[in-house]
Structure 1
Amino acid sequence: MRRFRKTLATAVLTALLVGSTAGMASASSQSAPSGPLPGTAAWLADDSLGKELPDPATATPSEVAAFFADLTGTQQRRLVEDHPTVVGNLDGAPVHLRYAANAPAGDRVLAYDPRGRGLIAKVVGDLENATHVSVIVPGSDVDIATFDGTAQRAADLQAEAGDDTAVIAWAGYTTPSGIGLDLATGRLAEAGADRLTRFTDGLDAVGLPDPALFCHSYGSVVCGLAAADTDASDIVVMGSPGMRADDVTALGTEAHIWAAKSPDDWIDRVPHVEVLGLGHGADPTSPGFGATVLPADDVPAHDAYFAPGTSTLTAFAAIADGDLG
């Protein structure tokens, strides 16, 4: 009977995410930007400082931070002027230099990659002097063109948490677009987890506090895969299809795991299974998973967990500000 239920759940999952979109799955398949950022060749060829510049593809964020710490202010500013695309996306570079490099893309932009659908990270609050840092990791259908919603969630969280908390809206990975195989598999989440790990390493390299990760929908798959390799203090998932783990222990992290799911969230219709690469595993709000479950009865929809006035936003702000542990 148990095997039958698992098979049935898999069939339902496939029908929901693949079968009903025949021909659409391949059309919506996404590719993450690959290869070096524009300007990388000129950066690597620059010998004006009398030393090699760190290779963006191989240097660790801590190595990048050490490199910039050895430069004068004038040398740092010249690199921003000559190589803005590289400096603006270089994890481990000082925050104020990344802001300056990305200034054409907007205020407090911490990363900006215009290739493909585009990747962006934007800060709400005073990141350089923050006592607490949070990162919002969005789910599917988020890119530069649709980033405003994620940025607004960051603004709402920061306003609720207070001035000593900075919140980063991080659309720093290629998300699934539409309904199809990308949404049902972990391919894009695996690439996103690598990028999220490097991003949080970059925050650590410049001396910022361990972040709290707020992971929505498919973003919770990304956070589940990244959990063991980040230094996050808390990982909060909401509207999650699963974290590619059977329980909290399997995540391999010391971070406090929190989970929320509204009774009005359509994600409840997606079976929580992982078979033959389809599906994302156990429901993080289930009793056996081991996460601390947050109340979400007043959340009206899948995309409303950060809505002002909801119990979830209140709880998220307390977690972000270190008041709920």
Structure 2
Amino acid sequence: MKKKGAPKKHASLRTQNALEGYIFLLPWLAGLLVFTLFPFLYSIFLSFSEVQMSPTGIKTRFVGLQWYKEAFTLDTTFTLSLLDTMKFVLLSTPMIVVVALLLALLLNGKFRGRGFFRAVFFFPVLIISGPVIQELLSTDTVAVIRPENYLIYDFVASLPTVLSAPLMYIFDNIVLIMWFSGVQVVLFLAGLQKIGYPIKEAAAIDGASVWQMFWKIYLPFLRPLILLNTIYTLVQLSAFSSNEVNKEIVNKMTLVGKTYGYSSALAWIYFVCMLAVLGVAFLLLRERKESRR
């Protein structure tokens, strides 16, 4: 009889633990529904509506795809802002991920002051709030390093466009790239520290060079983190309050006759574009299973 009753007791204990977990989750779930999910769905409705503010409240009139058509046919500033932002995101993301990987490899070594330098590279993440970064951009603080004053800048500028374009972009935005690479460095460091010493020791005994160890050991092991950091960086840069599209959306929220509805349509166009970029990044960087013959 005791043996038959044991599973029921175990099941009831598991159910009780699950209920306690859901109770702790309730405040977060309520916040998600009220402050995130409802505005998310309501913005879809507004993007198809003409919004009018009246003393009695908000009145809406369904206009279909009118705002979406105007965004591409009449609004030339939005199209330019969208292209500039996509260029900014697509160029900055690989640069940030590569720089973060290189910094993580350097900071993973054993040297004096390693903890201090790790803190220095992560410190910008702590003060990267919207008002702070906006003030830095407005005062041109991110351009404190003037690469055009060095000979290497002129040398890179003289290279063919295919080679010079990405390198020039790095030089012109080096502070901003370093600023956004803090979290990525931490994630890469965590991945590097999980690579067992016996694996590296065995590779060294077999005569593998540092370059070979990077391509054969480090890079395959860090591949999931490369995907994670790429997705994170794309989302981070797309939500950057100072990029051209986000400023365009905010500035057009109160246009006469287009209040909120037009800016909602612009936001959803931007969202679809970024969703497509995220999908392409996932398809390119996801881990592929080798087919068995």
The two structures have a TM-score, normalised by structure 1, of: 0.22
Which has the larger share of strand?
1
Larger radius of gyration: 2
Which has the larger share of helix?
2
The two structures have a TM-score, normalised by structure 2, of: 0.24
- Greater relative contact order, per chain length (Cα 8 Å cut-off, separation 6+): 2
